[in-house]
Structures are given as structure tokens and as C-alpha cells.
Amino acid sequence: MTHVEFDYERSEHPLDVVERLAFINDWAFDRAEDDEMSISVAGVWAEYHIAFTWIEDVEAVHVACAFDLKVPERRKAELLQLVSLINEQLWVGHFDLWSAQNVVMFRHALLLSGGAEPTRSQCESMLRTALEACERHYQAFQFVLWAGKSAREALESVLFETEGEA
């Protein structure tokens, strides 16, 4: 297969869209470099640290959403089992254990091949998907790490949905 390189001209940097989104929502953000940006968003369970990165080589906007949850070595295997079980349920994105800092994070990417421009709606969707996945599963991670639950027990407890009102 022959590798052909195309040089597409974009009307703006893909992270400019994300920066406007953060500004409109009055979220704390930092864009120290053109290709990297971080946003802090308060959720119900935690403060989420979201990093957006433009990866030129693959023409993708990458999002990584982490929360303050250090993984002790003694619970690492069970937590990895939980990550695997959660990822089986997800249609978009995935959880990882970032081994450098021993931190759990949700990751996803938006491919913009051929010079495609990201829309505000796409960036909002990426952010919403990351936050919803973290909010939905945060307690399962807590149950495994601090309550000593098995991965399956922890996941079942957060997937349980009540109907009606008491």
C-alpha cells in the first residue's frame, strides 16, 4: 500500500472550537499550547480534569477525562477487571488505567480526516460522553477501591436503575 500525504488547509485550529465551548460555559480552562487544552468541570461525584489534544498525524481531537482516584497496588487487578467490564458496555470511548500516574481516565477521539472541521455539536458530544461515562461509573471505581467489592458487584450496583417514585 502506497502512503500518500495530503495537506489540507483548515479555517481554524480544531481546539479553537473547544476553547469557545469552555468560554461560553464559563468553565476554567488552560490552553498553554496550540495543540493542548485542559478544562475543569464539576460533576456530582468529582471534579473532572479534561484534556483535549489535537493529534496532527492522525487528524484527531483526543479527549481524556480523569478524576482524582489513585489506585493502590493491592486493588489494581480488580480495578482492571472493572475497567474491562465497563468497556464491554460502552459504545463510544473507553476507560484506561493510566499507569504513569496510576489514575483512571476515560478516553475518546474524534477523527477529522481529509481536513474535516469539528463542529460545536461534535465537541459538546465528546465532552458530554466523557462526563456521563465518568459520572455513571465513578461509584463503581470507589466500591472496588475503598469498599473491597468485586468488579462485577461494583458494576451491578451502579447499573441498577430505579423506576417510579417512593
Q: Any idea what the CATH number is for the domain that residue 143 is in?
A: 3.30.1460.10
Q: What is the pTM of this model?
A: 0.85
- Provide the terminal-to-terminal Cα distance of the chain, rounded to the nearest Å: 63
Residue the block writes with cell 465532552: 127
Residue 80 belongs to a domain: yes
Residue 9 belongs to a domain: no
Q: Is the pLDDT of residue 3 over 80?
A: no
The amino acid at 139: Q
The pLDDT of residue 48: 92
The DSSP output letter for 153 is H
Q: How many domains does the chain have?
A: 1
Residue 8 belongs to a domain: no
- Mean pLDDT is lowest, of 20-24, 98-102, 128-132, 149-153, for 98-102
- Which cell numbers hold the place of 47? 471534579
Tell me which residue range forms the domain holding 62: 14-164
Residue 3 belongs to a domain: no
The pLDDT of residue 11: 83
Q: CB–CB of 65/131 below 8 Å?
A: yes
Residue 2 belongs to a domain: no
Q: CB–CB of 41/56 below 8 Å?
A: no
Residue 158 belongs to a domain: yes
